[in-house]
Structure 1
Amino acid sequence: MLVAGVTTAEDFSEFLLTILGGVGLSVALAYALLSIFGTHVAAMIVSALLFAAAGLAVGSLGGAFFGAIGGVLFARLVFWLHFREYRRGLPPYLTAEQVLWHYGFRFICAAIFIFLITPILVVLPLSFNAENFFTFTPEMLRFDPEGYSLKHYRDFFTNNEWQRSFKNSLIIAPIATIISVSLGTLAAIGLSQSHVPGRRAIMAMLISPMIVPLIISATGMFFFYSSIGNFLEDSLGFNKTFVGYVKVILAHAVLGVPFVIITVTATLVGFDRSLTRAAANMGADPMTTFFRVQMPLILPGVISGGLFAFITSFDEVVVVLFVGSASQKTLPWQMFTGLREQISPTILAVATILVVISIALLTVVELLRRRSERLRGMSPG
């Protein structure tokens, strides 16, 4: 009701009265909850029912749903403040200002997180829209089952254009990742040696694709790989389609190498060099030392870099537009084409699938990071 009153206020005085009335009702409800209920569980249930009824009165089933969530949060906040539960888990010597900053900092971080994640959260329900719209329909806002459908997902899995681009991404991204991991890992190990001359300059050049604007990198790659493509086609007689894949894979590998170098270099910071010297003293050759001693310890960093390289290749569109051709059209390229030439809601379904894949990969990265810290003794097991 407060939201409805604020949005329909015609002047400042009406707006102010609505705010003061909402604050008064909130204080009265908080006092009533504390007076009637001894635990927060019962208060949360009653508050959820009241807020849901208010949401249903001024809106729809959607308003009732969000009203119930607001009621639960409101009742929990009231009991949390009244019984000073915010002090639980904090050192007793903290002043009120320090406690306020403790929670204020977390509130700021949460607000930034919500600001960044909200555009993604909007896309997810829109991908289930039963209509060919990029907006929420009245049926969706009412939580009417008729307003939701999987037809955009069916279109993605049955449309030849989408499936061809998806297969291209599944071909290009893994191969580019393998090349990035191989070159990036070797480069990171080499640059971690103190006797290598010009380490900083070499590192700066290797991670430059991450720093240089992508449009500039794409333009340079266009001219460079065009010459390579002409050589492969004219002198060696390779098929044009095959050469196109080679160019795109190499270009994506260049973009992925910096991520591998950075993650592996960070892992090597805590690596004990005496282990490789001990292996050499025991008669192990450099290859055996690398695969049996060094690689198992830096493996979390290598895999993390590989996942970042895979995400970079799988989501990249600018470079493939310059370097590739229609035969190498990837999933992001198809999405870009769909937005520019024919606005298709299937893009929302594809975006949701990419978000789920990215979340899964980033979860793996975080688990590997924690495992790496445990292996290096930086965190308890």
Structure 2
Amino acid sequence: MSGAGRGPAAAGFNALRLAFAALVVAYLIVPLCAILPLAFTGSVFLTYPMESVSTRWFEQLATSDAWQRSIVNSLIVGSGATLLSTVVGTLAALGLRRNLVPFSGVLRSFFLLPMVVPAVVLGVGMQILYARMGLASSYAGVIIAHAVLCVPFVLVNVSGSLASIDPALERAAASLGAPPAAVFRTVTLPLALPGILAGAAFAFATSLDEVVITLFVAGPNQTTLARQMFSSLRENISPAIAAAAFLIIVVTLILALVVKGASILSWMRARREEA
């Protein structure tokens, strides 16, 4: 009787949990579903119903000098910030692994600060610092600023990947005579690669979407796609903004699929090695 009584209660709880999850997903997805179709409108206004279907706004992104420059700048800044933050975040995760460093918890908190400190505060601080260092309105300054925001995402992903590695595997490799560099190259790095790729994907997506700090540290020649979208919103609300948002979301989805594919390939390779 008790088991039978728990059955309907458990089923009701599972249904309630699924309904809540569906509401959360809808809350996140519905705004995107509302704005993205307007990237293909033939009208000059962001309104429903759409008068006609057209790719004119994507053509504007491809032909307008301002939009072209912003897309190229986003690729340059995003690639540089991703590379820099991936290296720094991975090294930080390795250094803080297993609490081997004194005050590792405090150091980890410092690395995660950019996630909780308001972007306006970081932007003002970087603007003052860059003015003294001569990095204001430069590509290097924007890349470093974006990398500061991206490092926490890399650190979290790589730390999670490293935590799942069995230390016995590394000890076994070392006991067979492999030096530390060889253990890292042949054991640690391949097993941590999915986390590193996930961190890099998050870093690139974060850089692609960053606008607040860019407003403080970038000059006219470093206008990114997100900043161009922000400027266009202030000057003239155009469907080109929806087209740019569509491109950003497509790039983000591609990065997510690449990371997922890499994780699946890594898992399949591990299973083959175990067999």
Aligned to 2:228: 334
In structure 2, relative to structure 1, the CA distance for the partners of 1:375 and 1:227 (3 Å cut) is farther
1:343, distance to aligned residue in structure 2 (A): 2.3
Task: Choose the corresponding residue for 2:127, options 212, 219, 222.
Answer: 222
Mapping of residues 191-340 of structure 1, within 5 Å: 191-229=96-134, 244-340=138-234
The question of whether the paired residues in 2 share the 8 Å contact of 1:128 and 1:152 is answered with yes
Aligned to 1:150: 55
Identity %: 39
Mapped pair 1:361 → 2:255: yes
Aligned equivalents of 1:92 and 1:355: distance in 2?
47
Aligned to 1:101: 13
Mapping of residues 68-79 of structure 1, within 5 Å: none
Question: Relative contact order (alpha carbons < 8 A, sep ≥ 6): 1 or 2 greater?
Answer: 2
| AA in 1 matched with 2:186 | R
| AA in 2 matched with 1:164 | R
Q: Deviations over 1:15-71 (max 9, x none)?
A: xxxxxxxxxxxxxxxxxxxxxxxxxxxxxxxxxxxxxxxxxxxxxxxxxxxxxxxxx
Mapped pair 1:133 → 2:45: yes
SS state at 1:197 partner: coil
The question of whether the paired residues in 1 share the 8 Å contact of 2:96 and 2:104 is answered with yes
1:110, distance to aligned residue in structure 2 (A): 0.7
Aligned equivalents of 1:184 and 1:291: distance in 2?
17
SS state at 2:102 partner: coil
1:226, distance to aligned residue in structure 2 (A): 2.1
Q: Deviations over 1:306-329 (max 9, x none)?
A: 100111111101111111101100
The question of whether the paired residues in 1 share the 8 Å contact of 2:77 and 2:142 is answered with yes
Aligned equivalents of 1:116 and 1:278: distance in 2?
46
1:206, distance to aligned residue in structure 2 (A): 0.7
Aligned equivalents of 1:370 and 1:196: distance in 2?
32
The question of whether the paired residues in 2 share the 8 Å contact of 1:267 and 1:372 is answered with no
Mapping of residues 10-89 of structure 1, within 5 Å: none
| AA in 2 matched with 1:306 | A
| AA in 1 matched with 2:217 | V
Aligned to 1:73: none
| AA in 2 matched with 1:121 | C
In structure 2, relative to structure 1, the CA distance for the partners of 1:92 and 1:177 (3 Å cut) is farther
Q: Deviations over 1:291-314 (max 9, x none)?
A: 122100100000000100111111
Between 1:266-275 and 1:96-105, the stretch displaced more is 96-105
Aligned equivalents of 1:110 and 1:370: distance in 2?
26
The question of whether the paired residues in 1 share the 8 Å contact of 2:45 and 2:237 is answered with no
The question of whether the paired residues in 2 share the 8 Å contact of 1:301 and 1:368 is answered with no
SS state at 2:95 partner: helix
Q: Deviations over 1:260-298 (max 9, x none)?
A: 111111111121223333333333332222112210010
Aligned equivalents of 1:185 and 1:169: distance in 2?
23
Q: Deviations over 1:71-103 (max 9, x none)?
A: xxxxxxxxxxxxxxxxxxxx9886333323222
Aligned to 1:344: 238
TM-score, scaled to structure 2: 0.90
Aligned to 1:63: none
1:332, distance to aligned residue in structure 2 (A): 0.2
Aligned equivalents of 2:189 and 2:22: distance in 1?
37
The question of whether the paired residues in 2 share the 8 Å contact of 1:162 and 1:331 is answered with yes
Task: Choose the corresponding residue for 2:83, options 178, 202, 209.
Answer: 178
Task: Choose the corresponding residue for 2:33, options 121, 130, 143.
Answer: 121
Aligned equivalents of 1:98 and 1:284: distance in 2?
52
Tell me which structure has the larger Cα radius of gyration: 1
| AA in 2 matched with 1:187 | A
Aligned equivalents of 2:120 and 2:166: distance in 1?
40
SS state at 1:104 partner: helix
The question of whether the paired residues in 1 share the 8 Å contact of 2:123 and 2:212 is answered with yes
1:373, distance to aligned residue in structure 2 (A): 6.8
Aligned to 1:165: 70
The question of whether the paired residues in 2 share the 8 Å contact of 1:169 and 1:331 is answered with yes
| AA in 2 matched with 1:128 | F
Q: Size of the alignment, in residue pairs?
A: 270
The question of whether the paired residues in 1 share the 8 Å contact of 2:123 and 2:213 is answered with yes
Aligned equivalents of 1:95 and 1:198: distance in 2?
48
